[in-house]
Structure 1
Amino acid sequence: MPMPPHNRRVSRAAVAAVGAAGLIALGAAPAAFGDETAPELVIGGIEPIGGVKPGSSFDLPVTVANKGTEAAEKVWVSYSVTRGLDFAEVPSNCRVQQVPSYDEMPERWIAVCAFDQVVEPGVVYTPEKPLGVKALDRALNDELRVRVEDVDPGADENGTPPVAGTAPAVKLVEEQAGGEGSARFVDVPVTSVNTADYQVTGAALKGSVGDTVTMKVKFTNAGPAWVLTKEGEPLVRVMITPPAGTSVVKPHGFCEAEGEAYACGTSQRSVNEGGRETYTFELKIDKQVAGAKGSVALSTEARPFDPDKANDRADITLDVTDGGASGSSGSSGSTGSSTNGSDGSAGGSSSAGDDGTTTNGGNLAETGSSATPAIMGAAAAAVVTGAGTLLIVRRRRARSLN
C-alpha cells in the first residue's frame, strides 16, 4: 500500500492508547478482582526498553494474573517482536514462526508459549525463566507485543510453519501480588543505539527541445539499521524539483505537486536496511535554459538516527543538445550519492519503489497530482486546397489512473 506524504491511511491493524510512561495498553480495562464470573487474564510486569546495543540480549519479565472468579485451566502467552529483534533461547513449550509484512504491519517473529497448569483467581504468576530477546545489527526502533489468553491463539496463517523451541520447558510460578497488569495485551517500544543513513541519488538528463525524457531518482536507506516509523509520526518525504525549461508529463504514482517541486512519499511506514524507492518521472524539454539544474532532497524533519547530512541532496542535471524536436525519448543516468544495498519489492506496480520490505503484493495506487496535463503530440497543420482553411489536430494525453 503506497504511503503518500500527506493523509497516510491508518493501518487496519493499528489501535492504541498511549500511557504516560510510554507504555501502550490495548484492550478494555477489566473489572476488579472477583467481579467476573469467568477467567479474566491480564498481562503486566513489562516496561519500555531502551539503550539496547545491537548484538546484545535482554530478558522479558512478564506477569500473568486472573481477575475473574473462575480458574483458567491452561494459559498461552504470546510474544511478538519486529524484525530488528529475535528470540534467543526458546523453551520447548513454546513455538516460533516468522511472519512477513502484510496489511501495513511490519515483518515480525512470534513466540507462543503454552502453560498447561491452572491459573487461580487473585493470584499473580510469572514464568520461572523469562524469555530472552536479542537485538540484531539492524535494530533501532522496534516494537514488542505481549498477550495472554485462555485458549490457543493458533498460528498466523501468513507466517512460516511454527517450530518448537529446544531449550528446557518452563512453567509459571506464583509471584507477590501487586505486579498484575490491566489489559489482555500490551505493546511496548524497544529502542536500540544505532544509526541509519538516509540518502538520495540524482540524475543526468540529455535530449533536444521537444523530447520527452525519463527521469529516475532514488531514495535509499544505506543502514545499518532498518527504520520503523511509529504511528502518527511523519514519514520522510523526498522533494524533487525538475530542471528549468522542462514540464512534467507524468509524475511518479505517489508524488504530489507542491509549487515547483514534487513531494514524494514512501511505500511503507518502515524502510529496511538497503531498501530503496525509485521515483520515475516523464519530462518534456520545452526550451534550452543555460545551466538548468534540478534537485532531489530529503525533507527537513529531525532524524536523530541519521547524522550524515552530506548525502541528503543531489543534483538533477540537463544537457540540451542543439536542434529542434526529434520526437525521440532521451535517456537518464544517475549522479549524486551511491546507493549500496540490495533491492526489495515494494509492490506490484511498475512504478513501485523498492523499500526492502515484504508487502502484500498489491498494485500501488497512484495518489494523483495537481500537475497540468501536457500536450504530448505536436500540432499538425494542413492547408486544405481551395478552401484556405487551417486544420489543427491536437492530441491530448489521457491521464493514467493506476
Structure 2
Amino acid sequence: MFQTSPGLRLLGRTAGTIGALALVALGATPAVADGSAPGVVLGKLAPVDGAEPGSSFQVPAQFTNTGAQALGKVWLSYTLTRGLGLTELPSNCSSLKIPTMDEIPNQTEAVCEFDQTVKPGVVYAPEKQLTFDVLDYALYDDVTVGIDTSGFPYPGDNFSHPEPGSGPAIRLVEQPAATPAAPGSAKRPSGDAADVPVTAANTADFQVTGARLKGAVGDTVPLKVKITNAGPAWVYRRDRATAARVLIKMPAGTTVAKSDNYCTKAGSGTYTCSSGYAWVSETYKQTFTFELKIGKAVSGAEGSVELTGPSRPFDTDTKNDKAGIRLDVTGGAGSSGGGVSPTPSASASGASGGDGLANTGSGTALPLAGAAAAAVALGAGALLAARRRANRR
C-alpha cells in the first residue's frame, strides 16, 4: 500500500519542522502565475493553547490542489514531538517512531494515504480528523502537518517500519464552505507543511544542588554541583536556546584546576554551564564536575550555583533556583602552604609589650627571641672590651 519516495529520505530532522524539511528535500520550483504548475497548499492552522495533560485534541487539517490537473493520490502526515501521542489510527494510516538523534528528541509520525481523485481548486479535509493525546509530561510541543503528492514520506531505513492502523478507513471530503488557496500559489511542486504549536497547562521544576568542600591550603579538591528537572513536564525550547543553564561562582581563595566540558569561563572564578541541547526530559539530571585548588584560607568563603539563561515561565518554584558552595579550610584560619605560620606584620612587631605578637600566634617565640637578643648583646660587649685592651698595648 505504502510507497516510498527516494527523494524523501532525510539525512536529518529538526523537531517541529520535520514535514518542512521533508518537502525541502524534494526541491522547490517557482510557482507559475497562470496556475498550471502542480502543487498543494495547506490551510491556516491555529495553535493549541492550555491543553490539559491527559486530554486530547484535533488539528483541523485541510488543503487545496492549486494545480491545473487532478491528483490521483495524496499523503497527509502528522509529526508529533515527544509530549504528544496518538490514539487509534484508521487502517489507511500508519505510524512510526523516530528515535532521538543528537539534539533532536524522539518523535512519532502518522501518515494517511488517500487513494482518490483530488480535483484542482477544491478544498479537501479528512472526513474524520486524527485525535492526539496530551501526555502527562507535555509542555511545549508541536504537531507538524504535511501534505505530499509524490509518495509516502518515510524518513529512512534507520527508523521503525510503519505500522498500519486498525480503525475504519477514512476518506477526503470536499469543503465547499472553505476558501481555496489561489491557483499557482504552491511554494513547492509536490507538498506543503506547517507547524502547530501545542502548549500544555503544565509546569517543570528546575532545581540546583550546591556542595560543601573541605581541604587544606595547597590541596586540590573535587567540586560537583547538580541541576535537576523535577518535572512533571519535559522542556523543549522552540527558539532552540539551551534548555537548562547555571552560573557557578567559585569560593574565594580557590582557582579552577580543571573545568567541566559543558562549562565555559564567564569571568574570574565564574563559569556558565548548560545542558547543551534545546530540550531536557522530565527526569533530567546533570552533574558538573570541577577540580579546585585551595590557594589560601578565606574566612566564610562561599560560592554559589544559580539558574540563569532565558526566562522560565513554566518554573513557578524559585526557592530551589540557587544553592551555596561552602569551603572549609582545615589547619586553622590564616594558615598558608606547608603549615608555616605567617610572618608578623610591621605594626604588630613594633607594638609595646607582647600583646601584638601574641595575636599573631607566635606563642613561645617571644621569650626565645629575648634570650637570643641578650646573647647577641653580651657577645658584642665582650668583643669591644678585647679590642680596647689591644689598643692600650
- TM-score bin (small chain): 0.7 to 0.9
Q: Which residues of structure 2 form unaligned runs of 5+?
A: 1-11, 18-22, 339-393
Match of 1:289 among 271, 283, 298: 298
TM-aligned CA deviation for residue 14 of structure 1: 5.4
SS of the residue 1:267 aligns to: coil
Q: Note if contact 1:239-1:264 (Cα within 8 Å) is conserved in structure 2.
A: yes
**How far apart are the structure 1 equivalents of 2:179 and 2:32?**
13
State the Cα deviation string for residues 276-297 of structure 1 (Å, max 9, x = none): 2211111111111111111100
**How far apart are the structure 2 equivalents of 1:213 and 1:100?**
39
Q: Which residues of structure 1 form unaligned runs of 5+?
A: 1-11, 18-25, 327-402
**How far apart are the structure 1 equivalents of 2:222 and 2:16?**
43
TM-aligned CA deviation for residue 103 of structure 1: 4.6
Question: Is the helix fraction higher in 1 or 2?
Answer: 2
5 Å-filtered alignment, 1:135-284, equals: 135-150=134-149, 151-176=151-176, 177-178=178-179, 180=181, 184-231=192-239, 233=241, 235-259=243-267, 260-284=269-293
Give the stretch that moved more between structures: 70-79 or 294-303.
294-303
**How far apart are the structure 2 equivalents of 1:97 and 1:167?**
16
Aligned partner letter, 1:186 = A
Q: CA RMSD in A?
A: 2.8
State the Cα deviation string for residues 313-341 of structure 1 (Å, max 9, x = none): 01111122228769xxxxxxxxxxxxxxx
Find the counterpart in structure 2 of residue 125 from structure 1. 124
TM-aligned CA deviation for residue 159 of structure 1: 2.9
**How far apart are the structure 1 equivalents of 2:258 and 2:194?**
45
Q: Note if contact 1:34-1:69 (Cα within 8 Å) is conserved in structure 2.
A: no
Q: Note if contact 1:30-1:40 (Cα within 8 Å) is conserved in structure 2.
A: no
**How far apart are the structure 1 equivalents of 2:156 and 2:142?**
18
Question: Is the strand fraction higher in 1 or 2?
Answer: 1
TM-aligned CA deviation for residue 70 of structure 1: 2.1
State percent identity of aligned pairs.
47
Aligned partner letter, 1:71 = A
Aligned partner letter, 2:166 = T
SS of the residue 1:130 aligns to: coil
TM-aligned CA deviation for residue 135 of structure 1: 0.2
Q: Note if contact 2:223-2:292 (Cα within 8 Å) is conserved in structure 1.
A: yes
Find the counterpart in structure 1 of residue 324 from structure 2. 315
Q: Note if contact 2:242-2:279 (Cα within 8 Å) is conserved in structure 1.
A: no
* Structure 1 ranges of 4+ moved more than 6 A: 26-30, 323-326
State the TM-score, normalized to the length of structure 1: 0.71
**How far apart are the structure 2 equivalents of 1:282 and 1:140?**
36
Taking a change above 3 Å as real, the CA distance of residues 161 and 140 of structure 1, as seen in their structure-2 partners, is same
Taking a change above 3 Å as real, the CA distance of residues 156 and 190 of structure 1, as seen in their structure-2 partners, is farther
Aligned partner letter, 2:162 = P
**How far apart are the structure 2 equivalents of 1:271 and 1:301?**
14
Aligned partner letter, 1:76 = W
Q: Note if contact 2:139-2:203 (Cα within 8 Å) is conserved in structure 1.
A: yes
TM-aligned CA deviation for residue 132 of structure 1: 0.3
State the TM-score, normalized to the length of structure 2: 0.72
TM-aligned CA deviation for residue 234 of structure 1: 6.1
Q: Note if contact 1:240-1:261 (Cα within 8 Å) is conserved in structure 2.
A: yes
